[in-house]
A and B are shown apart, each in its own frame.
Chain A
Amino acid sequence: QVQLQESGPGLVKPSQTLSLTCTVPGGSIRSGNYYWTWIRQPAGKGLEWIGLIYTSGSIDYNPSLRSRVTMSVDRSNNQFSLKLSSVTAADTAVYYCARLSAFNGSFDSWGQGTLVTVSA
């Protein structure tokens, strides 16, 4: 297991784009054993999977967010990123990045989470 670290603005205006980056220690972002994912949790609600990206750049997104989500990977800097466009107050949440095992579908390493508030 590794400790991931999210970074990005904590406040985003409505209709703008939320942008977050996750830094992965060591070189494991290049490993074929894992996918790299984003998960969010609005206050008082459950965890929602947003999407995943593989080291090759292949992606899959939650259908409920697909039209607004873009994920990318930067292997040279051991980072992957999330962009969520046209945000509203409903996108206010703690955003986590997490490592997903390609073998058993479990999230075995997580970041501490970062609160993103959508407000004017």
Chain B
Amino acid sequence: EIVLTQSPGTLSLSPGERATLSCRASQSVFSTYLAWYQHKPGQAPRLLIYGASIRATGIPDRFSGSGSETDFTLTISRLEPEDFAVYYCQQFGNSPMYSFGLGTKLEIK
């Protein structure tokens, strides 16, 4: 079973700053099958990035993804007020076929 470990658990930043979120896999993950989501309370999670680095439809270019094998990163270049949320990484691979990290909470400093 592939375990995804996200760090930090909580990240406190101010609007306009750069956010760097990490997702580390316990085994190698195919980049094609690594995705990132944004989740706000009471809302549906939103797909941001798939294929480790491809922005989903309608996602602003301040969001970018990178990485391979066991180390992946989500970067938000300049934080907007609406970006404060919980972010999850997710992989498709070994059983269970789909698994998520525990999330990074991005909060306003």
Contacts and interface: CB of A to CB of B under 8 A. Distances in A.
Interface in B10-46: 32-33, 35, 37, 42-46
Contact of B100 (A46, A105, A110, A111): A46
B107 to A, nearest CB: 16
Interface residues of A, number: 28
A96 B44 contact: yes
Contacts of A109: 47
Contact of B44 (A60, A62, A100, A112): A112
Contacts of B43: 112
Given A47-B88, A96-B44, A96-B45, A107 B56 contact: no
A88 B42 CA distance: 24
A70 interface: no
B95 A107 contact: no
B90 interface: yes
A48 B90 CA distance: 10
A63 B96 contact: yes
Contacts of B45: 47, 96, 98, 107, 110
A110 B91 CA distance: 17
Given A1-B57, A63-B96, A107-B37, A46 B47 contact: no
A49 B97 contact: yes
B101 interface: yes
A9 to B, nearest CB: 20
A104 B97 CA distance: 13
Nearest to A101: B50
Nearest to A3: B44
A106 B44 contact: no
A117 B3 CA distance: 27
Contact of B90 (A4, A106, A110): A106
A105 B98 contact: yes
A100 B102 CA distance: 20
Interface string A82-120: 000000000000001010110011111111110000000
